[in-house]
Structure 1
Amino acid sequence: MAFDQFIDPTDGMFDASSWVLDNAVGFMPVPIIITDPAVGAGGGAALMFFHESEARERQRKEHPDEIAGLPPSVTAVAAAATENGTWLTGAFHFGSWKEDTWRYQGGLFYGSFNLKYYVRDYPLDFNIDGLYFMQDIDYRIAGSDWFIGAKYAILSSKTTFDLGNDIVNLPPIDFDMNDANIELKVTYDSRDSIFTPNDGLKAKLGTEFHNQSFGGDLDYRKTRLQLNYFAPVIRDVVIGLRGDYQTVTDDAPYYARPFINMRGIPAMRYQGDDMALVELEARYDITPRWSLIGFTGTGKAFDEGQSFSDATYRTMVGGGFRYLVARQLNMRAGVDIAKGPEEWAYYITVGHAWSL
């Protein structure tokens, strides 16, 4: 029976591993529920298609009780919209080749976002509508956990600042912009899963060179250092630590300025020329399938000429639960709720909430 593909023979529980890995048309539908205060409530859906290399399939079938170490390739299509008129649609692919020596990511997205840009603490309404295209490649150095890589991305957008509610009789301000960049990066990745790690470190240092010669209209640089660390500290408990530092040159456009990106804090709410944050998460596995998590984090965004000590800490705290939906991928999914400096928000999370 087809339903048997959704039952894990090791524990008799619901599991999508067999459906998405053994079925030629297998896919995982992922509901998207958006509650980010920056765009309001909304939703959508994504379809994730998984493709295994022959080496990964052989490894998985020879050791069905274990998590295969080689990551699968994933293709996804998605669409979502929110109550304030924001919407996004697009497609994405992650590929891993030659026993994970090469990693590729590519995507094409089109959307329209209604957001607020804060001048100090004063919000200005704006819409950015555009097309985003990216190509990313990483190469593993001599079988180690180190990668070198490069990424090309271009955003072709139109921005409209609607100042009618702020300055009487002032018409909207429109401008078109192409922003293209090449990023050079070094990455270290020893995680045991690309979806929901239990152990390992992923760290990346990269600099984006935005330049007119790459097809854009702007010239600036953006440098970012990120790390996500996971460790099983005691039985059934996994601790995660996240750090993120970003800096841009002073000629960067408004949307490229770093902002504090954590659950419970609206996107672009706290921006600066520099941003630093740290986040701590603990996951307790009640059973091999069900888990509870708790997390907290704090960060600062500050401008050139302002010292880190003078900037204000922005802190959030939250919790949630996870279910192991695909054991052989080590993929957990669940719901988080978080409280930031100003309001509450909740999120559906598939994989891990920390992207890198």
Structure 2
Amino acid sequence: MNYKTRAAITLLSATCTFSAQSTSFTDPIDGMFDMGEYLAENAYGFLPVPILITEPAVGLGGGFAGVFLHESEQEKEHRKKLAMESLDGGARLIPPAVTVAGGAATENGTWFAILGHRRTWNKDSIRYMGGIGYGNAFIDIYSDLGGLLPQDKPLSFESDNKGYGGIQKLQFRVGDSPLFLGVSQFWTRSEVTSSNQIINKILELTVGTETTASGLGFVAEYDTKNSFFFPTDGYSINAEYLWFRDAIGSDNDYETFALDGQAFFPLSKQWTLGFAGNYASLTTDELSLPPLARPYVKLRGIAAYRYQDNYVASVQSQLMWHLTPRWTLSGFAGSGSASKDFDGLYEDSEFAYGAGFRYLMARRYGIHMGMDFAFSEDENAFYFNVGSGF
């Protein structure tokens, strides 16, 4: 552990200790460790979330993120009252505004810093989410180098990716329904280079080493989940379509579409079955695009950007056993596929599986934290997660 890591841990501990001098970390209902009062009653209270990275694409690493919850005094008192009346009373309220700030680094030199914010207005009839980030990632890219190689025989090469950017989404509820419609913006400025001079030259001649991606589009969401942080009932469907064009500052012209879904079914008081699916596509008339532009298979246990193409899809399921109101154990499994053409999806597929646990860290907000241990044919990893893991 280097001196910067030790200093960060010391500072975080001191901050938590100072803020917690007059705050109880014991829940008055069940007597268990809980950070709900600390988050609600301290002006500078935040949930410290350790970031443990075992992502196969970048190696071992870690860092910290702070989750800040913003509520008015009236909202705090209402949530506290409901939390005292039932175990999940406060958790079912409309979530407060949330700010997340943090960063992390890994053993191969990869690092990043992020700042994100989510807020609702008018009794959750308007939702806003935005974030910015800056980072430097050293990852292996599996690419056909702009069409110079066959799609079924991509070349793997080490890459150095530097960049910064941001996203924004603004959504409006349709009447009193669970449907939200809105607009979305995506913008990044990145530089991709390789330690291999031949690869570097090919990048320069095809897509260039510096790229700006700028997209505008529409987003739709249908959400009936019973909790923002840890749902156990209901479902959600999210769809987003983005246009990337020179007229709005993009170096390449293409369109992306993403469809994500989650569903949770309470089998009994102690068991919940969850499903999640993802589909993403990219269409373009250009012969070559930056290596990281295309979507990739996103599953716990499979390295980011390992399976990447014009069309990707994944499905996964998760069985959760609520051992006690505080502790939850889970097992999960999923498969994903990437293909140049839509018809080729799942002609070849990758499988991943694993198990994990969650602890109810802040009962009045329904915030669960824990770890997942995931495995696939070629890799394995563990993840520190807030939420269900989907």
Q: State the TM-score, normalized to the length of structure 1.
A: 0.93
RMSD value over aligned CA atoms?
Answer: 2.0
Matched, 1:210 2:247: no
In 1, Cα distance between the equivalents of 2:219 and 2:276?
A: 19
In 2, Cα distance between the equivalents of 1:5 and 1:279?
A: 39
- Counterpart position of 2:333: 296
- Counterpart position of 1:199: 233
SS of equivalent to 1:75: strand
In 1, Cα distance between the equivalents of 2:261 and 2:161?
A: 30
- What is the correspondence of 1:1-356 to structure 2 with a 5 Å cutoff? 2=21, 4-53=23-72, 56-64=75-83, 65=86, 66=89, 67-119=91-143, 120=153, 122-164=155-197, 173=204, 175-250=209-284, 251=286, 252-304=289-341, 307-308=344-345, 311-354=347-390
Shift of 1:56: 3.7
Structure (1 or 2) with the greater strand fraction: 1
SS of equivalent to 2:215: strand
In 1, Cα distance between the equivalents of 2:199 and 2:244?
A: 36
Q: Which moved more, 1:211-220 or 1:9-18?
A: 211-220
Are the counterparts in 2 of residues 96 and 102 from structure 1 also a CA contact under 8 Å?
A: yes
Tell me which amino acid in the other structure corresponds to 1:233.
Answer: L
SS of equivalent to 1:5: coil
**Structure 1 runs of 4+ with >6 Å offset:** 168-172
In 1, Cα distance between the equivalents of 2:364 and 2:217?
A: 33
Shift of 1:168: 9.9
Q: Deviations over 1:220-272 (max 9, x none)?
A: 00011110111211221111100111110144532121111010000000111
Are the counterparts in 2 of residues 55 and 99 from structure 1 also a CA contact under 8 Å?
A: no
Q: Which moved more, 1:169-178 or 1:192-201?
A: 169-178
Unaligned runs of 5+ in 1: none
Are the counterparts in 2 of residues 162 and 171 from structure 1 also a CA contact under 8 Å?
A: no
Structure (1 or 2) with the greater helix fraction: 2
Change over 3 Å in CA distance of 1:94–1:259 after alignment to 2 = same
Are the counterparts in 2 of residues 56 and 68 from structure 1 also a CA contact under 8 Å?
A: no
Tell me which amino acid in the other structure corresponds to 1:207.
Answer: Y
In 1, Cα distance between the equivalents of 2:230 and 2:357?
A: 13
Change over 3 Å in CA distance of 1:282–1:83 after alignment to 2 = same
Q: Deviations over 1:72-120 (max 9, x none)?
A: 1111211101111111012111111111111111111110111111133
In 2, Cα distance between the equivalents of 1:172 and 1:183?
A: 28
Are the counterparts in 1 of residues 370 and 385 from structure 2 also a CA contact under 8 Å?
A: yes
In 2, Cα distance between the equivalents of 1:168 and 1:129?
A: 17
Shift of 1:57: 2.8
Q: Deviations over 1:311-351 (max 9, x none)?
A: 31100010011111011111111111110120111111112
Tell me which amino acid in the other structure corresponds to 1:34.
Answer: I
Are the counterparts in 1 of residues 53 and 60 from structure 2 also a CA contact under 8 Å?
A: yes
SS of equivalent to 2:76: helix
Change over 3 Å in CA distance of 1:246–1:2 after alignment to 2 = same
Are the counterparts in 2 of residues 228 and 241 from structure 1 also a CA contact under 8 Å?
A: yes
Change over 3 Å in CA distance of 1:246–1:169 after alignment to 2 = closer
Change over 3 Å in CA distance of 1:253–1:136 after alignment to 2 = same
Are the counterparts in 1 of residues 193 and 200 from structure 2 also a CA contact under 8 Å?
A: no
In 2, Cα distance between the equivalents of 1:336 and 1:48?
A: 20
SS of equivalent to 1:2: coil
In 2, Cα distance between the equivalents of 1:37 and 1:253?
A: 22
In 1, Cα distance between the equivalents of 2:188 and 2:353?
A: 33
Are the counterparts in 2 of residues 162 and 172 from structure 1 also a CA contact under 8 Å?
A: no
Are the counterparts in 2 of residues 115 and 125 from structure 1 also a CA contact under 8 Å?
A: yes
Unaligned runs of 5+ in 2: 1-19, 144-152
SS of equivalent to 1:57: helix
Tell me which amino acid in the other structure corresponds to 1:317.
Answer: Y
Change over 3 Å in CA distance of 1:55–1:197 after alignment to 2 = farther
Q: Deviations over 1:121-170 (max 9, x none)?
A: 53111111011122211111112110001111210111113324xx5997
Are the counterparts in 1 of residues 131 and 168 from structure 2 also a CA contact under 8 Å?
A: yes
Give the fraction of aligned pairs with identical amino acids, expressed as a percent: 35
| Residue correspondences, number | 351
Tell me which amino acid in the other structure corresponds to 1:24.
Answer: A
Are the counterparts in 1 of residues 131 and 166 from structure 2 also a CA contact under 8 Å?
A: yes
Tell me which amino acid in the other structure corresponds to 1:22.
Answer: E
